[in-house]
């Protein structure tokens, strides 16, 4: 039986990582070896199927972000992080009425 990849959501651990903030998220990503760029996406923003040439980690600071990959879908919430392997088709959309503040993290 072949196992299919699944979306693994890394949750924020306040006990280990401290209070979730822009600074603490950046610090955690840097400690994992990532460089990150901050983006803000308005409600209604949709990202259709696409790929990237490099692996990256999407990290949510505020808002809710529907994310689909491997035929699965999850809703990412503040503190959630998900690895996106290079050349893997995925899509996403801002959910609800709040903007999503997001770190695009790459190594």
pTM: 0.94
Residue 3 has pLDDT above 80, yes or no: no
Q: Give CA–CA dist 20/14, Å, rounded.
A: 7
Confidence of residue 100 (pLDDT cuts 50, 70, 90): very high
Q: Give CA–CA dist 62/50, Å, rounded.
A: 23
User: Where is 28: in which H helix or E strand?
Assistant: helix 22-31
Q: Give CA–CA dist 74/24, Å, rounded.
A: 24
CATH 2.40.30.110 is right for the domain spanning 38-107? no
Q: Give CA–CA dist 33/7, Å, rounded.
A: 21
Instruction: State the average pLDDT over residues 18-38.
Output: 97
pLDDT digits (tens, 9 = 90+) for 54-94: 999 999 999 999 999 999 999 999 999 999 999 999 999 99
**Where do the domains of the chain lie?**
38-107
């Amino acid at each position: 039986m072949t196992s299919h990849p699944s979306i693994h959501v890394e949750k924020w651990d306040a006990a280990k990582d401290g209070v979730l903030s822009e600074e603490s998220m950046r610090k955690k990503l840097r400690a994992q070896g990532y460089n990150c760029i901050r983006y803000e996406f308005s409600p209604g923003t949709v990202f259709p199927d696409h790929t990237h040439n490099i692996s990256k980690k999407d990290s949510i600071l505020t808002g809710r972000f529907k994310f689909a990959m491997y035929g699965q879908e999850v809703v990412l919430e503040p503190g959630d992080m998900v690895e996106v392997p290079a050349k893997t088709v995925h899509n996403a959309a801002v959910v609800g009425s709040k903007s999503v503040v997001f770190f695009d993290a790459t190594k």
